[in-house]
Amino acid sequence: MYKILIVDDDPITLKDNRTYFESLGYEVVCTDTARAAEEIILSNALDCIILDVDLPDMNGFALCEKIRLKTSVPIIFLSGYTEEENRIRGLSIGGDDYVCKPYSLKELGLRAEARIRSGRAAQPPKTLTFGSFSICPASCSASYEDRSVVFSSYEFDVLYFLAKHPQEIYTPEQIYDSVWKAPINKGHKSLQVIMGRIRKKLYELCPDHDYIQTKRYKGYLFVPSRD
């Protein structure tokens, strides 16, 4: 049984979501504030968080950034803000998916199941090690010597894919198709944002080497250091 947390200050939305996910067999925990959600997240083993962006006590984006320092559990944003800038922000600060209101409960259920299953693979991928640098799928993190950094699922999926094929250049289209099994369509900008977040975190971890590099007009590649 999967255990999920639903955070929304609209009682009707909260009730509808809870009823639907319980009908699918999920164990559902609900709250209508960010502060209560943070306490639940830090004291429970959750499989997914469905998080409203517009909460009364703290913006959902701010909560996501806060808890991303402590957990890599999948986060699906719910929002009435449909602008591309908000979707990009949600993904770039650690969210795994972004669903605009109004939405289909069936679609939300499928998205939640997809993110949960991707994090619960029967055979977890192995840790990749390049000298003092390592990439750990179990925690969606990368480590260098005694330091580490956590990535969102979207960020980690891209990093891990490129690191599995060091020195090989992949176009944005190839990355979308290989990582998310979907055509890129209008996702070029989103991928650029995700790449920017990955590179920023890797630079903070190891400023002496650029692990993700860009080849102009060609694509991206992972370049191991020589230590």
User: What is the domain extent for residue 36?
Assistant: 3-119
Q: Is residue 177 domain-resident?
A: yes
The token duo for 6 is 């639903």
Q: Does the structure show a pLDDT above 50 at 123?
A: no
Judgement on whether residues 104 and 146 belong to the same structural domain of the protein = no
Judgement on whether residues 19 and 113 belong to the same structural domain of the protein = yes
pLDDT for residue 226: 72
pLDDT band at 187 (very low <50, low <70, confident <90, very high): low
SS3 content of the chain, % helix, strand, coil (to 5): 45, 20, 35
Number of compact structural domains in the chain: 2
Q: What's 28's domain CATH number?
A: 3.40.50.2300
Judgement on whether residues 101 and 180 belong to the same structural domain of the protein = no
The torsion angles phi and psi of 21, rounded to 5 degrees, stand at -70, -35
34-38, 120-124, 173-177, range with greatest mean pLDDT: 34-38
Residue 218 CB neighbour total at 10 angstroms: 10
**pLDDT tens digits along 40-98:** 988 887 889 999 999 999 999 999 988 887 778 899 999 988 778 888 888 888 888 99
**pLDDT tens digits along 151-181:** 887 788 899 999 999 999 999 888 887 776 5
pLDDT for residue 81: 81
> How far does Cα 136 stand from its chain's mean position?
15
Last residue of a domain, one of 92, 119, 146: 119
Judgement on whether residues 144 and 169 belong to the same structural domain of the protein = yes
**pLDDT tens digits along 75-88:** 999 998 877 888 88
Q: Is residue 22 domain-resident?
A: yes
The torsion angles phi and psi of 72, rounded to 5 degrees, stand at -110, 20
pLDDT for residue 78: 94
Judgement on whether residues 111 and 132 belong to the same structural domain of the protein = no
Say if pTM beats, i.e. exceeds, 0.75.
no
Judgement on whether residues 193 and 108 belong to the same structural domain of the protein = no
Last residue of a domain, one of 119, 136, 169: 119
Q: Are 93 and 68 in contact (CB under 8 A)?
A: yes
Residue 24 CB neighbour total at 10 angstroms: 14
Q: What's 179's domain CATH number?
A: 1.10.10.10
Q: Are 178 and 220 in contact (CB under 8 A)?
A: no
Pairing of strands 133-136, 141-144: antiparallel
Q: Is residue 227 domain-resident?
A: no
Find all residues with CB under 8 Å of 154, minimum gap 6, and list them.
Answer: 91, 95, 96, 194
Judgement on whether residues 41 and 69 belong to the same structural domain of the protein = yes
**Nearest-angstrom CA–CA distance, 3 and 26:** 6
Q: Does the structure show a pLDDT above 70 at 184?
A: no
Nearest Cα residue to 89 out of 126, 60, 118: 60
**pLDDT tens digits along 124-157:** 568 999 999 999 987 889 999 889 999 887 788 8
> How far does Cα 120 stand from its chain's mean position?
14
Judgement on whether residues 115 and 11 belong to the same structural domain of the protein = yes
pLDDT for residue 182: 54
Q: Are 78 and 101 in contact (CB under 8 A)?
A: yes
**Nearest-angstrom CA–CA distance, 4 and 111:** 13
Judgement on whether residues 9 and 80 belong to the same structural domain of the protein = yes
